Structure formats: C-alpha cells, structure tokens
Amino acid sequence: SIPLTFFAGIGGASKAGILIKGGNFLEALHEVDTVVFDKTGTLTKGFFEVAETVAMEGFSKEEVLALASSVESHSNHPIALSIKRASQASQKVEVSDYQELSGYGVSAKVEGRIVLAGNAKLMKEQGVSIPSGMSDETLVYVALEGRLAGYLILRDEIKPEAASLIERLKNLGIKQLVMLTGDKKESAQKVAQAIGITSFEAELLPHEKVERFEALLGARATQGKSVFVGDGINDAPVLALSDVGIAMGGVGSDAAIEAADVVIMNDEIGKVATAIAIAQKTHTIVW
C-alpha cells in the first residue's frame, strides 16, 4: 500500500503547480542525483524575437522574411511561431510539399519554388553555401531554389529563475547537471555559462539526444535516479527514457505531457527544485 504521506507529498506538489503522476515518481525524485535539461523552451523562454533580418544581394529583407514565414506556415516549432509573428506578409501564397526536418528546419514549395528555412546543418546538407564566421546567436537561414536569400537573427531569453534553480539543485545534493540541445554550440555555451551548468552538448538531432542521454547514464560513477526536463518539442523520447521525465505543461506538446511523469503547470522551471525538495521532505517523514 502507498503510505499516506505520499498523498500529502503529491497534494503539496499539486498546490505548487506540480502534477506528479504517482507515488513511485515521488519516491524516485528523492533518489535523483542527475538532472538533464533541454535548452529551448525549458531553460529559455522559447519565445524568440526576430532581432534582425539580413538579405543577400538580389533580395530584400521583406522578401526574406516573407519566404521564411511562408515555408514555416505549417510548423509549430517555437522558431516558426516567432517568424510568423514577426512577418507582416499576410498575402496568401501557395505552399505545397511541406516537410518538417526535425533538428534541421523546414522545406516546402512556395508558389512552386523550393524554399528552405533552418540551421547551418540543413544548408550544408542541401548544398547551400553560407557565409562563415557568423554570430553566436540562433540563426535561421533562408534559401530559395538552392541559393541563400538571407538569414534571420533570433533572440531567446533565459528564464529569470534558471540560474537560481541550478544553485538550488546543487544545494539539494544533485551531483550531475547537464544540458542537451539541438541548437548550435555558441548559443548553448552562452546559456550554460550564464546559469552555471558546466556540462552541455549541442547540435544534437532528436535521436542523438536519446543516445547522449543513455551514454551519460552509462558513464556515471553514482547510481542515483535520473531526471530529464524538457518542453517536449523534439524531446519526448528522452522524457520517456528517464527515471522521472519532467515536462513544461504550458508550452509543452500533448505528446510530452503524456510522456512525462511530472508536469509543471506554468512552465516555472524553478519548480523542478521544488519537486525534488518536496520528495526529500516526504521521504524523511515516511522513513
């Protein structure tokens, strides 16, 4: 039978906006020594601002932004939503053959012409040459018929409570803190440094996040439980694989909320530490 205090722990968590899907997860949370984070939408707001549009010769900024928003029209990725918000172009264009290339970007035919929007990896894979020595921010390259039309500089904000969360987790005895992201190395490094995570891996495709997570658990000296915290966009498989998968309930996809063991209702990342603290306190009372 489940001790009564488990209900108290789950009830207390739920009052704090943390949904724990069972007493076993509360117990596992008490034994956690490894916490792995997704970056975009988890440690950062995932609400990008298009800070700048850069057009290559032969294109205008408006054209670049309009092409980007057309090719992104079917995507729900936070990057796509930001581009659509920024674009003023409301004229209906015909978009066909749409493909979401998870971890890379999107491709489609816009008025019959092939348009790509995505990261440097996508451009490289598709044989589109891009300038070198680019900024450390998140960039979305836009290509038309195999040629670079321009790029967008996107700015995301770190959640204000992310740094104090890392501090609290260290104080709660968490030994290993890691960030895994599909974003590029330079923007990952900026976030990791700002919040105090020393270990991170970037430019990971969704399946590589799973592989890196497994490798990380295999290489540990300690035997505690593992937590993965994500927003569920391209990380539902890792959420399912971890001992305790924690998803953001606000921005998270339905699939993520389904795959998760713990759901943070209002995306306040600080509640990851609150959940572990409640688990530790509940444990003290039970045993």
Sign of CA dihedral 221, 222, 223, 226: negative
Residue 150 is a binding residue for ligand ADP (CB under 6 A): no
Residue 137 is a binding residue for ligand ADP (CB under 6 A): no
Q: How far is CA 75 from its chain centroid?
A: 15
Binding residues among 28-47 for Mg ion as defined by CB under 5 A: 38, 40-41
Stretch that binds Mg ion, among 65-73, 142-150, 158-166, 233-241 (CB under 5 A): 233-241
C-alpha to C-alpha distance for 218 and 210, rounded to whole angstroms: 12
Nearest to 165 by CA among 257, 229, 259: 229
Residue 233 is a binding residue for ligand ADP (CB under 6 A): yes
Residue 156 is a binding residue for Mg ion (CB under 5 A): no
Stretch that binds ligand ADP, among 39-47, 158-166, 265-273, 278-286 (CB under 6 A): 39-47
Residue 23 is a binding residue for ligand ADP (CB under 6 A): no
**Nearest-approach distance from CB 46 to ligand ADP, in angstroms:** 8
**Minimum CB distance to Mg ion smaller for 38 or for 261:** 38
**Nearest-approach distance from CB 272 to Mg ion, in angstroms:** 15
Q: Which does 152 bind (CB under 5 to 8 A by kind): Mg ion, ligand ADP, none?
A: none
The one among 87, 119, 226, 274 contacting ligand ADP by CB under 6 A? 119
Residue 26 is a binding residue for ligand ADP (CB under 6 A): no
Measured CA to CA in angstroms, residue 113 lies from 9, 10, 96 at distances of 57, 54, 9
The one among 30, 45, 77, 159 contacting ligand ADP by CB under 6 A? 77
SS (H, E, C) 199-240: EEECCCCHHHHHHHHHHHHHCCCCCCEEEEEECCCCCHHHHH
C-alpha to C-alpha distance for 263 and 282, rounded to whole angstroms: 19
Stretch that binds ligand ADP, among 54-62, 77-85, 170-178, 250-258 (CB under 6 A): 77-85
Residue 53 is a binding residue for ligand ADP (CB under 6 A): no
Residue 80 is a binding residue for ligand ADP (CB under 6 A): yes
The 10 Å CB-count burial string (b at 16+, else e) for 238-255 is bbbbbbbbbbbbebbbee
**Minimum CB distance to Mg ion smaller for 110 or for 236:** 236
**Minimum CB distance to ligand ADP smaller for 27 or for 137:** 137
Q: Which residues are catalytic?
A: 38
Question: For residue 76, how many C-alpha atoms fall within 13 Å in the half-sphere facing its CB?
Answer: 8
Residue nearest to ligand ADP (CB): 182
Residue 70 is a binding residue for ligand ADP (CB under 6 A): no
Q: Which residues bind Mg ion (CB under 5 A)?
A: 38, 40-41, 231, 233
Q: Which residues bind ligand ADP (CB under 6 A)?
A: 38-41, 72, 75, 77, 79-80, 103-106, 117-119, 138, 140, 181-183, 233-234
